[in-house]
Amino acid sequence: DFPAGSFGKDAPGAQFLAQIAKADALVHVVRAFEDESVPHPDGGAINPHGDIEALDLELTFSDLALIERRLHRIDVEARSMKPADRTAMEVHQELLRRMQAHLEGGAGLRSMTFTDIEDKELRAYQFITRLPVLLVVNIGEDDLARAAEIEAAFAARYAGNGVAVAALCAKIEAELAQMEPDDAAVFRADLGLPEESPLDRAIVAAYGLLGLQSFLTAGEDEVRAWPVRKGATAPEAAGKIHTDLERGFIRAEVAGWRDYVDAKGSHGELKKAGKLRTEGKQYVVQDGDVLNILFNV
């Protein structure tokens, strides 16, 4: 979490870049509200598009610098390489030059398409502009009625190729988060806001960017959601709970979350309604599955 102005008017430092390069995705909260009591970090006017483009430019420079360093190293190493090794290195060099040209054209690496082999090669690097980005447009209270319009405008300009957009008023959402659910629903209605929280939509958007979904486990004391990649098998999902469950996986009892709610969490009612099924190691978990893992270690 890096607050606005983390690096002031200067370019981002090495520590900043090293930290965000380790992330799975970036969430860029962009200021789009006016408030004289909260000046812009650089002292200028409120300019969300300028802020987005300024950070994108700095991250692009970071990736370009990484490519240039690697290309220089290849040139040095190639002089002492055997012909066969040099051929493989030239293929890698050509990949880096394509990426370099793409970045110099003003686009992030997330908008490039790579083969499986190229993707595997690039895992050794930490290219920041390959990371998916969620742009959260932080609007003012005066713009609440225009939230959908503002979100659509930003999405039209930036969404796609690993970028998603969500607009919300962080001040209002912070107040709503302190309320009981029923009170929050009334307050949201009084403000003319949609029933669905923009925070929930932002979370869904982030899951989409990361290729994630959720499965559920339910016990007497709690129901818990677990993130897992789309396409994960039941044993892989079990491993998210505990590695022992994946290692000793036997089978999973599975129900859809709506069926689970309708049955009030009763396994007996689920079985009676034919809504509880048994799945093996090849089962691909679906979003919203309620899983009971049977295992032996």
Q: Which two tokens stand for residue 188?
A: 């949201």
Q: Residues 258, 263, 265, 268: is their CA dihedral positive or negative?
A: negative
Distance separating alpha carbons of residues 196 and 199, to the nearest angstrom? 8
pLDDT, the chain, mean: 91
Per CATH, 47-130 and 212-295 having the same topology is answered no
- Collapsing DSSP to helix, strand or coil, 140 comes out as coil
Q: Which amino acid is at 104?
A: E
pLDDT (average), residues 44-58:
92
11 pLDDT higher than 80: no
Q: What is the pTM of this model?
A: 0.84
Fold classification of 47-130 (topology level): DNA polymerase; domain 1 (1.10.150)
For residue 110, give the nearest of 74, 160, 149 by alpha carbon. Answer: 160
26 pLDDT higher than 90: yes
| 141 or 81, greater pLDDT | 141
Distance separating alpha carbons of residues 10 and 44, to the nearest angstrom? 15
Q: How many CB atoms lie within 10 A of CB 165?
A: 23
CB 126 within 8 A of CB 21: yes
61 pLDDT higher than 60: yes
| 6-10, 19-23, 188-192: range with lowest mean pLDDT | 6-10
User: Which burial class, exposed, middle or buried, applies to 83 when counting CB atoms under 10 A from its CB (0-12, 13-18, 19+)?
Assistant: exposed
Helix 181-190 and helix 170-177, axial crossing angle in degrees, nearest 10: 150
| 290 or 45, greater pLDDT | 290
| 36 or 283, greater pLDDT | 283
- Tell me the pLDDT band of 78, cut-offs 50, 70 and 90: confident
- Tell me the pLDDT band of 79, cut-offs 50, 70 and 90: confident
Domain definitions of the chain by residue range: 47-130, 212-295
pLDDT at position 6 is: 52
Q: How many CB atoms lie within 10 A of CB 82?
A: 7
CB 132 within 8 A of CB 171: no
CATH code for 212-295? 3.10.20.30
Q: Residues 267, 270, 274, 278: is their CA dihedral positive or negative?
A: negative
pLDDT at position 1 is: 63
